[in-house]
Amino acid sequence: MVQSQTQIEIINADKISFNKKNNKDRQVLTGNVKVKHNNQFMSCDSAYYYANENKIEAFSEIDIWQGDTLSLKGDYLIYLGNHQLAEVEKNVRFRHNEMNLTSEQLRYNFEHNKGFFDQKAIITEKNKSLKSNQGIYFASIEKFDFYNDVIIETKEETLRSDTLYYWLENEYAVFQSNGSIKNTKINVNAQYGWINQKTGEAFLNKNIKIVNLQNNSILRADTSYLFNEMNHSISYGNALFSMPLNEDTLYLTADTIFQQKKSDGNLLKAHPKAYFKSIDMLGFCDSLSYLTKEENLFLNKEPVIWLDQFQLTSDSIRIILNKDQIELAFLNKSAFIASEVDTNSFNQISGENMKAYFNKNKLSNIEVIGNGESIYYVADEKKNETVGVNKIICSNMNIIIKNRKIENINFYKNPDAMLYPTNQINPENLLLKGFTWRNKTYIKNMIEHKMDKYQLF
């Protein structure tokens, strides 16, 4: 389809000649060649002009320009006047406003203000560098559509993708395949998404992996939104957070995971339905928060934790870590610790509040503070059988744990203790008020299902 019938105008040439034997339609222009077509001008060392085809073939020192805003240079040119299409090859330099592109090949349509390249191009604009093997440039909106291994680099950040659309003025990118964002704070991978480099906002979708370079934690999810110069994030859909803990790793999953970078550390929140595990710990709560500077982990709304065979529950739990190891846990209000003796029998300790102490991530002793009660099964180690049940009421207690078992219980403030033979105790008295045994296997399966999805086993 013919786009324009305006004839190319020859403004200057030191010499114009014909060679009718070779081509009766072709004029040979040499020396200071300058031509004009519509709003664009072109200069070169020499050229062939085909009047009937309204075409120019130019050689060496080629420069096409439109005012001060656009310039296209190269060593070889085919210009089709009826289509306003310039096909430039070899040592191509294209400038539009503050954008500069270099390549070995570029086709530019002046009627539609679009440029096409199928070979590697390097683009610089203000403080950024862009590279791609294939792309389209829309000059009217200063936008690139990049295909095939795209890289956008600034001093602070590197953005990569297989397919990416980029608006220069807004510094806004949409990526369609295998996107990655790298800066001094985080490394991000996602299948799809967008990023506003001016505001530090980004939206990510599918196969998301966000690595925090400060603490080597990793967040995986289906969907994430990053904001506040990419210092905050909200993630959901198969969200799984992992954080190194000394020679262990803490895994956490929840419906929604929120991260906030602060000047004095990071804040992590997970809710609702937060499941977590490490080698020595498994747990669940409705909502969780973690402060990296203080190394404080807060579990809210009926949390439960398993440490070896011990189940810990209370209204809320605060865990203090020291150099990535559990040091202390506070069980606040309605504190309860239980361990299974057999299918129907449980050692139990309850109190108003408790402090659980750890040594190398292993539970070492427990302080019961206020309204202490315990039921403890006494075993004959030689016969390997239970011989009685020790039921004790005491305001304060200290339970010593050794080799993952209760070794000794110290009682303070007028303890009331009674040892019952197993055949003399009423089954109704074998459970303390507030006792509940949670489904450990279900909680373990919930988080391991997420770990299996991301092939972390």
> Which pLDDT value is given to residue 21?
65
In the chain, where are the structural domains located?
1-107, 120-238, 244-457
- For the domain covering 120-238, report its CATH number: 2.60.450.10
Q: What is the pTM of this model?
A: 0.86
Does domain 244-457 fall under CATH 2.60.450.10? My reply is yes
> Which pLDDT value is given to residue 58?
97
> Which pLDDT value is given to residue 1?
42
> Which pLDDT value is given to residue 20?
66
Per-residue pLDDT of the chain (457 residues; tens, 9 = 90+): 444 479 999 999 999 998 766 667 889 999 999 999 999 999 999 999 999 999 999 999 999 999 999 999 999 999 999 999 999 999 999 999 999 999 999 999 999 999 999 999 999 998 899 999 999 999 999 999 999 899 999 998 999 999 999 999 999 999 999 999 999 889 999 999 999 999 999 999 999 999 998 889 999 999 999 999 888 999 999 999 999 887 889 999 999 999 998 777 789 999 999 999 998 889 999 999 998 888 899 999 989 999 888 999 999 999 998 877 889 999 999 999 999 988 888 999 999 999 999 988 788 999 999 999 999 888 777 777 778 888 889 989 998 988 877 788 888 877 888 888 877 777 777 899 999 999 999 999 999 999 999 999 7
> Which pLDDT value is given to residue 3?
45
CATH H-level superfamily of 1-107: Lipopolysaccharide (LPS) transport protein A like domain (2.60.450.10)
Buried b (16+ CB within 10 A) or exposed e, 117-153: beeebebebeebebbbebbebebeebbbbbbebbbbb
> Which pLDDT value is given to residue 323?
79
Closest CA to 331 of 366, 307, 355, 309: 355
